[in-house]
A and B are shown apart, each in its own frame.
Chain A
Amino acid sequence: GNSVTQMEGPVTLSEEAFLTINCTYTATGYPSLFWYVQYPGEGLQLLLKATKADDKGSNKGFEATYRKETTSFHLEKGSVQVSDSAVYFCALSDRSRTGNQFYFGTGTSLTVIP
């Protein structure tokens, strides 16, 4: 079956530190991969996506590369800011018999301190 595993949190970093949040997946087909971000009291917002192997998604200084050989999609940012404090979710979508199902990781809470 399909599943997403991401690193446990919470993660606390100082401003301008390097961020990595690990994400690995299991999929029966050829999924698309996403990172979503959730700010307090809000719904999830798409951060970036990659639709095939070796694609790199990027947005707002965040990057993630679709690695089929290691079934991974790790999120990275070179220099985090206080405003990046949020919960980050790795997700995949895979086509089933009648449509698309989405699978999310458990989320990683990030706190950036000044």
Chain B
Amino acid sequence: EAQVTQNPRYLITVTGKKLTVTCSQNMNHEYMSWYRQDPGLGLRQIYYSMNVEVTDKGDVPEGYKVSRKEKRNFPLILESPSPNQTSLYFCASSLSMRENQPQHFGDGTRLSIL
């Protein structure tokens, strides 16, 4: 089954404790992206990647890092999480960088930073 898998689905942690949210897709997609979803703000793009070893900042990259060492994986790293990063996070992928390609979303990761 074609899917985007995120882990963990839920995480409660404390300020400053490094964490990684994994994202994996099995569709051989070139393009991958991370979003955060906050009430009243919709989805905002954090980082995206056109292909292996190619990443770029979205609208809200501060406090996050990403890497794309393999085509299928695109982890999101919070080196020193803070409470304002409490949010619902989605990973997404699409076939290529062509702008008319729709994205496939994971089921989300709810992070709470205390």
**Residue with the highest number of chain B CB atoms closer than 10 Å, among A32, A95, A96, A100:** A100
Binding site for A on B (CB under 8 A): 4, 31, 33, 35, 40-45, 48-50, 54, 56, 58-59, 90, 92, 97-108
- Tell me how many residue pairs across A and B have CB atoms closer than 8 Å: 76
Are A93 and B99 also in contact (CB < 8 A) when A99-B48, A101-B48 are? yes
A42 at the interface (CB under 8 A from B): yes
A43 touches B48 (CB 8 A): no
Picked from A31, A102, A105, the residue with its CB within 8 Å of the CB of B45 is: A102
Binding site for B on A (CB under 8 A): 4, 31-32, 34, 36, 41-46, 49, 51, 89, 91, 93-96, 98-107
Q: Kindly list chain A residues whose C-beta atoms are within 8 Å of the C-beta of B56.
A: 96, 98-99
A-B contact pairs, 8 of them (CB 8 A): A42-B107, A43-B90, A46-B104, A93-B100, A98-B50, A98-B54, A100-B97, A104-B44
Dominant SS at the B interface? strand
B90 touches A94 (CB 8 A): no
A94 touches B4 (CB 8 A): no
| Interchain CA distance A100-B102 in the complex, whole Å | 11
Min CB distance, B62 to chain A, in Å?
Answer: 16
**Residue with the highest number of chain A CB atoms closer than 10 Å, among B33, B42, B49:** B42
Q: Kindly list chain B residues whose C-beta atoms are within 8 Å of the C-beta of A102.
A: 33, 45, 48, 103
Q: Kindly list chain B residues whose C-beta atoms are within 8 Å of the C-beta of A101.
A: 45, 48, 58-59
Are A32 and B100 also in contact (CB < 8 A) when A43-B90, A98-B50, A99-B31 are? yes
Picked from A41, A51, A106, the residue with its CB within 8 Å of the CB of B42 is: A106
Min CB distance, B77 to chain A, in Å?
Answer: 20
Min CB distance, A11 to chain B, in Å?
Answer: 16
Min CB distance, A39 to chain B, in Å?
Answer: 10
Q: Kindly list chain A residues whose C-beta atoms are within 8 Å of the C-beta of B103.
A: 44, 46, 102
Residue of B nearest to A8 (CB): B40
| Interchain CA distance A93-B105 in the complex, whole Å | 15
Picked from A43, A51, A107, the residue with its CB within 8 Å of the CB of B107 is: A43
Q: Kindly list chain B residues whose C-beta atoms are within 8 Å of the C-beta of A49.
A: 100, 102
A94 touches B54 (CB 8 A): no
